[in-house]
C-alpha cells in the first residue's frame, strides 16, 4: 500500500498546512540571512583586522607621532583615526603646552582614543545581533510549526476515524520538518555568532594595542618637548 502523500522534503512542504508553510518559509529566510551576514561580515572583519595590524605596525615602528601620521596619512581606517585624533588634540592644546605639564593632554588623548575604539568595535558588531536573535528564536519558531502541524494531524485522525499509519504519518512528518528547519537555521547562526564574537574581540585587542602605542608616542613627544633647546643648553 502506498502512502497518500509525497514524503520528500519538498512534497511535505507542498502538502503542509498554510501556517506550517509560513513557518518553514520564515525559517528558510532566516537561514539565508545567516549565511549572507556570514559572508559580508567575514569580508568586513578580515579587511578591518588587516588594516588594524598594519596601523599597529606603523605606530610601533614610528619614533614620533608625526612619523606615524605621515605613514598613515592616506588611510581612513580606525588605526589611522587614532593617530589623527591624537595629532588634532595636540594642535588644540598647543598654546597651553608651554605653560602647563602634559598630564591634561594625555587624559584628553586617552579619552578620544577610547571613544574611537568603542565606535570601531560597535561598527564591527553591527549585523551580528541578528545572528543571536535567529539562534535563540528559530528552534521555538520551528517547534510552533511542529505543534500546529501535529494538532492538525490529530484533527485529521479524528475526522478519518482511523489510526492507520498511512493516514497518521504524513501529517506528523510535515510537522516535524518544521522543527528540523528550525534547528538548521539556529545551529549555524549560533556557531557563526560565536566565531564573530571571538574575531571582534581580537580586532578590539589590536586596536587597544594601537591606542596604547599612540599614547606612548604622545608621551615621548611631550618628554622631548620638555628638554631644553640645544642652543639654550649651550649658553
pTM above 0.85, yes or no: no
83 touches 69 (CB < 8 A): yes
How does 65-104 read in b/e, with b if 16+ C-beta sit within 10 Å?
Answer: beebbebbeebebbbbbbbbbbbebbeeeeeebeeeebee
Percent of the chain at pLDDT above 70?
Answer: 81
Closest CA to 186 of 34, 13, 41: 34
pLDDT of residue 152: 78
Q: Using 50, 70 and 90 to split pLDDT, how confident is the model at 229?
A: low
Backbone angles phi, psi at 39, to 5 degrees: -65, -50
**Domain residue limits at 138:** 17-150+179-224
125 touches 45 (CB < 8 A): no
- Asked if the structure places residue 171 within a domain, the reply is no
pLDDT tens for 56-103 read: 999 999 888 888 888 888 888 888 899 999 988 888 877 766 656 667
pLDDT of residue 232: 38
- Asked if the structure places residue 209 within a domain, the reply is yes
Q: Using 50, 70 and 90 to split pLDDT, how confident is the model at 8?
A: low
Q: Is the dihedral of CA 178, 179, 185, 188 positive or negative?
A: negative
206 touches 52 (CB < 8 A): yes
- Asked if the structure places residue 165 within a domain, the reply is no
- Asked if the structure places residue 75 within a domain, the reply is yes
Decide if pLDDT at 168 tops 50: yes
pLDDT tens for 48-68 read: 999 999 999 999 998 888 888
- Asked if the structure places residue 46 within a domain, the reply is yes
**Residue 216 cell numbers, joined:** 606612548
Count of structural domains, the chain:
1
pLDDT of residue 186: 94
- Asked if the structure places residue 96 within a domain, the reply is yes
The more confidently predicted of residues 191 and 3 is: 191
pLDDT of residue 189: 95
pLDDT of residue 75: 84
pLDDT of residue 69: 86
Closest CA to 72 of 93, 50, 44, 51: 51
**Residue 204 cell numbers, joined:** 578590539
pLDDT of residue 163: 63
- Asked if the structure places residue 167 within a domain, the reply is no
pLDDT of residue 178: 86
Average pLDDT, the chain: 83
- Asked if the structure places residue 1 within a domain, the reply is no
**Residue 228 cell numbers, joined:** 631644553
pLDDT tens for 201-218 read: 999 999 999 999 999 998
pLDDT of residue 76: 84
Decide if pLDDT at 12 tops 50: yes
Q: Using 50, 70 and 90 to split pLDDT, how confident is the model at 104?
A: confident
Q: How far apart are CA 54 and CA 160, in angstroms?
A: 71
Q: Using 50, 70 and 90 to split pLDDT, how confident is the model at 6?
A: low
Contacts of 90-98 with CB under 8 Å at 24 or more apart are 90/65, 90/218, 90/221, 97/222, 97/225
Q: How far apart are CA 7 and CA 13, in angstroms?
A: 9
Decide if pLDDT at 196 tops 80: yes
Q: How far apart are CA 38 and CA 34, in angstroms?
A: 6
Amino acid at each position: 500500500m502506498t502512502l497518500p502523500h509525497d514524503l520528500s522534503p519538498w512534497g511535505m512542504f507542498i502538502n503542509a498546512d498554510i501556517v506550517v508553510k509560513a513557518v518553514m518559509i520564515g525559517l528558510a529566510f532566516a537561514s539565508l540571512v545567516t549565511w549572507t551576514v556570514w559572508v559580508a561580515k567575514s569580508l568586513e572583519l578580515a579587511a578591518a583586522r588587516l588594516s588594524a595590524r598594519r596601523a599597529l605596525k606603523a605606530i610601533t615602528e614610528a619614533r614620533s607621532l608625526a612619523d606615524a601620521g605621515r605613514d598613515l596619512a592616506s588611510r581612513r581606517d580606525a588605526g589611522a583615526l587614532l593617530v589623527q585624533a591624537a595629532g588634532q588634540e595636540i594642535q588644540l592644546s598647543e598654546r597651553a603646552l608651554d605653560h602647563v605639564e602634559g598630564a591634561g593632554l594625555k587624559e584628553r588623548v586617552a579619552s578620544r582614543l577610547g571613544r574611537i575604539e568603542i565606535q570601531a568595535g560597535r561598527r564591527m558588531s553591527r549585523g551580528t545581533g541578528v545572528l543571536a536573535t535567529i539562534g535563540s528564536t528559530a528552534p521555538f519558531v520551528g517547534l510552533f510549526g511542529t505543534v500546529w502541524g501535529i494538532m492538525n494531524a490529530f484533527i485529521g485522525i479524528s475526522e478519518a476515524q482511523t489510526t492507520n499509519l498511512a493516514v497518521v504519518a504524513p501529517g506528523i512528518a510535515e510537522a516535524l520538518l518544521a522543527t528540523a528547519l528550525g534547528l538548521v537555521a539556529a545551529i549555524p547562526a549560533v556557531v557563526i555568532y560565536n566565531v564573530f564574537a571571538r574575531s571582534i574581540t581580537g580586532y578590539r585587542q589590536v586596536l587597544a594595542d594601537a591606542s596604547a602605542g599612540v599614547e606612548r608616542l604622545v608621551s615621548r613627544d611631550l618628554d622631548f618637548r620638555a628638554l631644553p633647546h640645544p642652543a639654550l643648553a649651550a649658553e
